[in-house]
Amino acid sequence: MRVVVAGCGKIGITIIKSLFKERHDILCIDNDQEVINEVINSYDVMTICGNAISYDVLKEAGMEKTELFIAVTDSDESNILSCFTARKLGAKQTVARIRNSEYTAESLGFIKESLGISMSINPEKLTAEAIYNLLKLPSATKVDTFTNRSFEIVELIIKKGSKINGLSLMELRKKFAGNFLITVLQRGEKVFIPKGNTTLLEGDKICVVASIEEMHKVLFSLGFLQKESKNVMVLGGSKIAHYLTQMLAKGHTSVKIVEKNKQRCEELCETLPSSVDIICGDGMSQDILLEEGVSQTDALVALTGADEENILISFYAMSQKVPKIISKVNTSALSQIAENLGLDCIVSPKQIIADLLVRYARALNATVGSKVETLYSLMDGGAEALEFVVMDDFEFSNIALKDMKLKNDVLIAGIIRGKKAFTPGGDDVILSGDKVIVISKGRSLYSLTEIMEGK
């Protein structure tokens, strides 16, 4: 597929990297020649140095043969205008990053329909939603949901003294009730789909798939479930903090934001509910954190603009025995270091957006039999969870799963049939209209047929 990416900042580069791995034909636009040079040195892609809202630049970029145009510059208005122009010049699908919280769902819908924008993305809002899910399931290090929240997939770390430490998956099934699957396991640097005789060990990171109704019961049974975080301290008054606080306040969660910029504090006071405490101070100050009760809080969320600060604050919170700590870290190298040193819960806005656009690109590449509805990266990219919509012409419909010959490192983890979501057994079949959740390790899947041997 031919993809044009306008804007090569942090998010743009991550999108380019992810789509480049997917083997798409990519052209990049940015008005900074130094940035363009960095892209050229890192990736085998075409580039144009220029303004993405320029008719001449977009004409030169070949919009008439572009299947997907993605605008992720720093300006919402530039992204909207460039998508409009790109569509008029022939781009088939356009995606605009629109971050301003003043745009409501209604106004965004009007803009998209009027200007022919296929999709709008808001990294800050999506990141806030990811953090919100983690605060609702504090034992998890990552939480993703599928269609209509029918299924959840959560990443968990087996701690010292865990009741499942030393059990094989077969023993686990016999000992613990619940309709669930352990689908992926990471042990050190190795990521794999476990078998029935695989023994779980302290320090392993596992992915558990269950229906939304079952997940709390499953986690409680396995000894992972903690109470929801009802007293949250947020460091940094960013857009993410604003969206997150709105979500938490609706659920009657007590929120305290520590922000050192006085003007930003005033803005937050004007736009957030009166129940939210806004503290004007430096979140890097241990005295301020102690004074504001960090050691008594249920969760600390580090959302400052500096990765290093977020990591350091999080380690301090660990020393204060804060039960749940979430850090925003965009730099991959720093994220890996932080995880290796014991920070379990790290979110990356740029990776959330990259996963979303990889999924969108695969859906546009829909082949015979199925199309990609949802895609999530698991275990830091070591595996994927995909949700496929089954078409009428899927050639393996009505065949019992036990009779299917699946490729190695592929697992069917769930089926959504109408309003029913279930973990399938060997006698279950796939039907037209089903949504099928597949776990894949070491391979990129574009259709459901590709999970079969010989396909």
CATH number at residue 410: 3.30.70.1450
**How many Å apart are CA 102 and CA 239, to the nearest integer?**
11
Same domain, 106 and 176: no
Cβ proximity of 361 and 337 under 8 Å: no
pLDDT in tens, 78-131: 999 999 999 999 999 999 999 987 888 899 899 999 999 999 999 999 999 999
The stretch 410-422 carries a mean pLDDT of 91
Size (the chain), residues = 455
Could you tell me whether strands 346-347 and 370-378 are parallel, antiparallel, or unpaired per DSSP bridges?
unpaired
Residue 281 inside a domain? The answer is yes
Please check the confidence at residue 258 and state whether its pLDDT lies above 90: yes
Where do the H-state alpha helices sit in 89-226?
A: 105-115, 123-136, 169-175, 212-222
The rounded Cα 392 to chain-centroid distance in angstroms is 30
Are residues 7 and 54 located together in one domain of the fold? Answer: yes
pLDDT at 367 over 60: no
Q: Which domain holds residue 9?
A: 2-121
Q: Are 49 and 391 a contacting pair, CB within 8 Å? A: no
Q: Flag whether 126 is in a domain.
A: no
- Domain holding 243: CATH number? 3.40.50.720
210 and 268 share a domain? no
| Exposed/middle/buried for residue 368 (C-beta within 10 Å: 0-12, 13-18, 19+) | exposed
Residues 26 and 116 in one domain: yes
DSSP assigned state of 244: H
Residue 174 lies in a domain: yes
* CA distances in angstroms from 239 to 20, 100, 267, 333, 452, listed in the order given: 29, 9, 11, 24, 44
Pair (81, 25) in one structural domain: yes
More confidently predicted of 238 and 455: 238
**Domain end (from 347, 375, 405):** 347
3-state secondary structure of 341: coil
pTM beyond 0.85: the answer is yes
Model pLDDT for residues 33-72, shown as the tens digit of each residue: 999 999 999 999 999 999 999 999 999 999 999 999 999 9
Q: Do residues 14 and 110 share a domain? A: yes
Tell whether 36 and 96 lie within a shared domain: yes
The residue among 301, 331, 347 that closes a domain is 347
In the chain, the number of structural domains is 4
Residues 293 and 256 in one domain: yes
Q: Are residues 214 and 258 in the same domain?
A: no
| Residue 111 located in a structural domain | yes
Q: How confident is the model at residue 366 (pLDDT cuts 50, 70, 90)?
A: low
Are residues 177 and 72 part of one domain? no
Is 3's pLDDT higher than 80?
Answer: yes
Taking residues 209-237, report their average pLDDT. Answer: 90
Last residue of some domain: 288, 323, 347? Answer: 347
191 within some domain: yes
Characterize the bridge pairing of strands 435-441 and 410-417: antiparallel
Average pLDDT over residues 26-38: 96
Q: Which residues contact residue 365 at a Cβ distance below 8 angstroms, ignoring those fewer than 6 apart?
A: 1, 446
260 in a structural domain? yes
Does residue 114 sit in the same domain as residue 39? yes
- 197 Cβ contact partners less than 8 Å away, ≥ 6 residues apart: 168, 169, 170
Q: What angle (nearest 5°) sits at the alpha carbon of residue 322, between those of residues 318 and 323?
A: 110
Better-predicted residue by pLDDT, 216 or 90: 90
Q: Is residue 130 part of a domain?
A: no
Which amino acid is it at 316?
Y
> Among 58, 57, 38, 46, which residue's Cα sits nearest to residue 20?
46
* Tokens of residue 278, six digits: 């806004």
What pLDDT does residue 213 have? 85
